[in-house]
Structures are given as C-alpha cells and as structure tokens.
Amino acid sequence: MEGCTVGVGVLACESVVVYVRAAQRRLGTDYPVFVLHYTDTDDPGRMKLQIVQAAEKMPKDIDTVLVAMGFCGGSWNQVEASRRLVIPRVDDCVSMLLNGEEGHSTNPKEMGHLYITEQEPDSSGKRLCQQCPRWKVDACYPKWFANHSQMDIVDTGVFDCHTEDYVEKAQKCADALHCNLDYVSGSNALLEKLIGGQWDTGFLVVEPGQRIHDFFS
C-alpha cells in the first residue's frame, strides 16, 4: 500500500503501478494504492476471486475505489459492488495505455500484434503467456502466439523505453516469439482521468449494491 489519503483508494494491477504513480505525481494526488499480484492468471475464476477479495479487503474508510485495470477476461462481470467502483471501459491494461486524449476504444489493439508496456521487459518472452499454467509455458507459448508477427513497445512517455538496454531486452522478447519489433504511441491519459475524477463515457461508475454486467453497462 502507498499513500494515505482517506476516502479514495486505487486498486492497481501490478503491471500498471508505474503508470499510476506517474499519474499521481502529475496530478499532485496521494491516494493509497493497493497492488493486485495475481497468482492464478491461467484460471479466470480464481483471477476474478482475487480481484473481488482485494477490493473487499480495502479499509472501510475508502468509499470510492479507482480501478487501475481493465475488464481482463470478464473479471468484473457479475460482481456486486460493496462500495463505489470506477473502472475504465477497456478490455485489458494494454488497451488502457493505448487510449489517448481524444476518443475512446474498448480495444484499440491490432490483430496479430503483441505489446510491451513493462518498465523492465521480460527478455524470455514467457511472461506474455501468463494464460498458460507455469509448467506448460515452454511448450505452449510458441504455439499460443503463432499468429502474431509484430511486437510493439508502447511509448507513453512515462519512462524511457528507447535506451539500448531496454531495446535489447525487448528484441530478445520479440525474437523468442519470432516477431518484428517496433514502437507504437501510447498515453497515460486514461489513468490520469481516472485519478483526476474526469469520469466521462470512457469509465463505468458502479454505485454500492449495483451489479456489473460488462463494461458497456
């Protein structure tokens, strides 16, 4: 947990914590951040359970939870809110970082493309296949990504992704999956709107007692 502001808390997927910190620095906020570390990403049911439990375990004095993640395989579907939830209307965290200042898309990713958003790229390429059980990763990840030919580094400007070390690790990741490597423009705008309370049509605001059906609810 980070920060100490009462009333509002941020539930952040571990993959976007660096972006949440950047948004808070830019906006001058200091909301407590509760980091969600997944242990069963290959099991959607357990993944949903972890998310719900993490939200429920947040301190009682937090009445509004800013959800710094997407719907990730329907993770929030059929969840009944116990406090106000504000969730970006995107399918996953990559889509959250591909949305810019203008317009909104629930899934702006391109077919056949994989995306690197990490501050420290996984040079083995195996982290990209977290949907597979850990013991099957070596066997399944080349097959899982057989239809992908392009790997894009998402440049949001939050950190320097053009250094020699970063590009070298990203290239190893691309090579492991037989992909070409390039850059694509990203943005921290959606997270900044989330943190800054600018909840337009790009967000789903769920009041206590309401049940979530999907990100179009």
Kindly write down the DSSP assignment for every residue of 8-52, as one continuous string: EEEEEEGGGHHHHHHHHHHHT----EEEE--S-TT-HHHHHHHHH
Sort strands 8-13 and 64-68 into parallel, antiparallel or unpaired. Answer: parallel
**Confidence class for position 1, pLDDT limits 50, 70, 90:** very low
Query: Taking 60 as the threshold, does the pLDDT of residue 139 lie above it?
Result: no
- φ, ψ of residue 94 to 5 degrees: the values are -65, -45
207 phi, psi to nearest 5 deg? -85, 155
160 pLDDT more than 50: yes
Q: Give the Cα separation of 194 and 212 in Å (integer).
A: 18
Asked if residue 177 lies in contact with residue 142, where contact means CB atoms within 8 angstroms, the answer is: yes
Distance set, CA 8 to CA 58, 66, 68 (Å): 10, 7, 13
106-131 pLDDT, tens digit per residue, is 999 998 998 999 998 875 555 554 44
Query: What pLDDT is stored for residue 137 in this prediction?
Result: 45
What whole-number distance in Å separates Cα of residue 97 and Cα of residue 159? 13
Distance set, CA 75 to CA 50, 51, 103, 131, 196 (Å): 10, 8, 24, 14, 24
Buried b / exposed e over 126-137, threshold 16 CB at 10 Å, is bebbeebeeeeb
**To the nearest whole percent, how much of the chain has pLDDT over 90?**
55
Q: What is the predicted pLDDT for the residue at 122?
A: 72
Q: What is the pLDDT of residues 7-56, one digit of tens each?
A: 999 999 888 999 999 999 999 999 999 998 866 555 667 778 888 888 88
Residue type, 184: V
Per-residue confidence band for 213, with pLDDT thresholds at 50, 70 and 90? confident
Residue 203 has phi, psi (to 5 degrees) of -130, 150
Q: Are residues 58 and 183 in contact, defined by beta-carbon separation less than 8 angstroms?
A: no
Are the C-beta atoms of residues 52 and 79 closer than 8 Å to each other? yes
CB-CB contact of 73 with 44 (8 Å): yes
- What is the chain's mean pLDDT, rounded? 84
How many CB atoms are located within 10 Å of the residue 120 CB? Answer: 10
